[in-house]
Amino acid sequence: MAEIGQDIAKAKAFLEKGELVGIPTETVYGLGGNALNPDAVAKIFATKNRPEFDPLIIHTSSIERVLEFAVEIPEVLRLLGEKFWPGPLTLLLPKKNILPDLVTSGLDTVAVRIPGHALSRELLSGLDFPLAAPSANPFGYISPTKASHVNDQLGDKIPYILDGGTCEVGLESTIVGVERDKVVVYRLGGLDVKEIEDVVGDVRVMTHSSSNPKSPGMLKNHYAPTKPFVLGNLKTLIKEYQLKGVTFAVLSFRDVFKTVPIGQQIQLSPSANLNEAAKNLFAAMRALDTMDVSVILSELLPEQGLGRAVNDRLRRASAN
Ligand code: TXA
Ligand code: MG
């Protein structure tokens, strides 16, 4: 198992040696490695069992430093960076050759983010290279929102996990680029699209396809528990599965179901708060996945605010 602690100097030392470290961010935990070191980058793909066609996000500590590895920041995207960084926003920018091709899976754009978590910001400020950091989960599985989640699955493959507590946002960053002067959202995430539109006007949301060449990693069945995950009207589903005699657990937005044992149901937000639901989503999915039942039953949230991004993850989980 990996060592878990809050020692930034230790994390730094491992990263400087080309090792990988689990790092906390406000969205989800990342599996960090030196983005300029091809061996470290290759280790990231191997550790996650991630296909090499799925590019990584690069993390750094300031807008100025973004230009160490991106050619430029188009004006509309700069507006967004200035407004929302540090935060749950990733920008697609033209890449510089200093980045190994493997980082971007051969694309000529690079995904860039300045994370908002105090520990990772301090770590990044002290490094003289940027960090490539995908979510710290095996490819296709649920993203980690606590250090223990990282340890559960990657603990025997990495030396250290920097423990920053539970991630405040709980969903991956919103990925944004620009095509022919139009701002495009490639992945719904922890920054509400509406907040982006308040700054740059209407945007195009282009996230659903499994063959979207701009976001090759947005495969339909991402973020999936290992158990079948069924979406629908919970009252109806519960009756149906009780009749069938199939054991199940329930993931609801706020409702408690009297006919289901309390230990087999999780409410994402008893007060119906969409941000709280987002923060709890991945930990809840993990907990349900380890319960002694055959199926997970769930429902969509209201399609507003972070509810949109939560629903995107729920739909992907049920696509398996
Ligand atoms: O919040 C986050 O973004 C977290 C934390 C750790 O920062 N990171 C994260 O990374 O979610 P990952 O690797 O799990 O997801 C990155 C997504 C993938 O779907 C990938 O295909 C897409 O970003 N991506 C990366 N570079 C890209 C590029 N140049 N063009 C289009 N999509 C890109
Ligand atoms: Mg991921």
Instruction: Return the residue whose CA atom lies nearest to atom 15 of ligand 1.
Output: 134
Measured between alpha carbons, how far is 37 from 18 in angstroms, rounded to an integer?
7
Measured between alpha carbons, how far is 118 from 244 in angstroms, rounded to an integer?
49
Coil/strand/helix, residue 133 = coil
Handedness of CA 282, 286, 288, 293 (dihedral sign): positive
Residue carrying structure tokens 């539970």: 166
Instruction: Return the residue whose CA atom lies nearest to atom 13 of ligand 1.
Output: 134
pLDDT confidence of residue 218: 59
Query: Does the C-beta of 28 come closer than 6 Å to ligand 1?
Result: yes
For residue 223, report the distance from its CA to the centre of ligand 1, in Å.
Answer: 13
pLDDT confidence of residue 207: 80
Class of domain 3-205: alpha beta
Helices (H) and strands (E) in the chain, counts: 10, 15
Token pair recorded at residue 80: 């967004």
Residue 182 phi/psi, 5-degree rounding, is: -105, 130
pLDDT confidence of residue 201: 97
DSSP strand pairing (182-187 vs 204-205): parallel
pLDDT confidence of residue 221: 62
Most informative mutation of 90, 101, 179, 218 for ligand 1 (most atoms within 8 A of CB) = 90
User: Is the preceding omega at residue 261 within 30 degrees of 0, hence cis?
Assistant: no
Q: Which fold has domain 229-317?
A: Rossmann fold (3.40.50)
pTM score:
0.96
Q: Which residues contact 282 (CB under 8 A, 6 or more apart)?
A: 28, 142, 143, 144, 145, 149, 170, 171, 223, 313
Do residues 278 and 171 make contact, with C-beta atoms less than 8 angstroms apart?
yes
Query: Does the C-beta of 110 come closer than 6 Å to ligand 1?
Result: yes
Strands of the chain, DSSP E: 3-5, 21-23, 30-34, 57-59, 89-94, 109-113, 131-132, 160-162, 174-179, 182-187, 204-205, 229-231, 248-252, 265-267, 295-298
CA–chain centroid gap for 269, Å, is 20
DSSP strand pairing (174-179 vs 182-187): antiparallel
Low-confidence ranges of the chain (pLDDT < 50): 210-213
Q: Hey, where are the domains in the chain?
A: 3-205, 229-317
Query: Does the C-beta of 172 come closer than 6 Å to ligand 1?
Result: yes
For residue 89, report the distance from its CA to the centre of ligand 2, in Å.
Answer: 14
pLDDT confidence of residue 213: 47
